[in-house]
């Protein structure tokens, strides 16, 4: 996929808060189950809570981001980091309030889908200001 031929789309409002751009979305032909894309988050943008049936690998190529697995502390990550999102565990990821962030997302398809989307991350969850903190 040549860079000039890759399509960029806005991250759907149902699955993202803030502006995120998805570029080069791909999936391999069976029997492979691999799919992926390059996702850029503007400051403050993030995914909704979601799970991956076989996990997900994020290779951070630019900026600073946050991620959180349900029931765990929020983690900050940086350009050059590789994040291993666990299978079947609700989590979210995105940019910090002050920095954009770009990652390459790689995951596998199981039963026709690489992801199960859930509800949006609240501002309290994002900023870590909820009553559980």
> For 25-63, how does the pLDDT look when each residue is reduced to its tens digit (9 = 90+)?
888 888 989 999 999 999 999 999 999 999 999 999 999
Q: For residues 23 and 103, what is the distance between their CA atoms, to the nearest angstrom?
A: 11
Q: What is the pLDDT of residue 131?
A: 47
Give the chain's mean pLDDT: 93
Report the number of distinct structural domains present in the chain: 1
Q: For residues 117 and 49, what is the distance between their CA atoms, to the nearest angstrom?
A: 6
Flag whether 35 is in a domain: yes
Flag whether 102 is in a domain: yes
Three-class SS state of 126: helix
CATH of the domain at 46: 2.60.120.10
Residue positions counted in the chain: 133
Flag whether 112 is in a domain: yes
Q: Is 0.85 topped by the overall pTM?
A: yes
Q: Which positions of the chain have pLDDT values less than 70? A: 130-133
Flag whether 133 is in a domain: no
Look up the domain containing 77 and give its range: 3-127
Q: What is the pLDDT of residue 30?
A: 86
Strand-pairing partners, residue 108, are: 34
- Cα–Cα distance list, 121 to 4, 77, 112 (Å): 33, 18, 25
Q: What is the pLDDT of residue 130?
A: 56
């Amino acid at each position: 996929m040549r860079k000039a031929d890759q399509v960029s789309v806005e991250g759907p409002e149902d699955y993202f808060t803030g502006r995120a751009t998805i570029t080069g979305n791909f999936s391999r032909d069976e029997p492979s189950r691999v799919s992926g894309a390059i996702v850029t988050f503007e400051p403050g943008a993030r995914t909704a809570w979601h799970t991956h049936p076989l996990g997900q690998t994020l290779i951070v190529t630019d900026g600073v981001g946050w991620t959180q697995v349900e029931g765990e502390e929020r983690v900050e990550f940086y350009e050059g980091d590789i994040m291993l999102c666990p299978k079947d565990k609700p989590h979210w990821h995105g940019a910090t309030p002050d920095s954009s962030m770009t990652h390459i997302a790689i995951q596998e398809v199981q039963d026709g889908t690489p992801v199960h989307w859930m509800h949006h991350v609240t501002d309290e969850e994002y900023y870590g200001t909820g009553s559980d903190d």
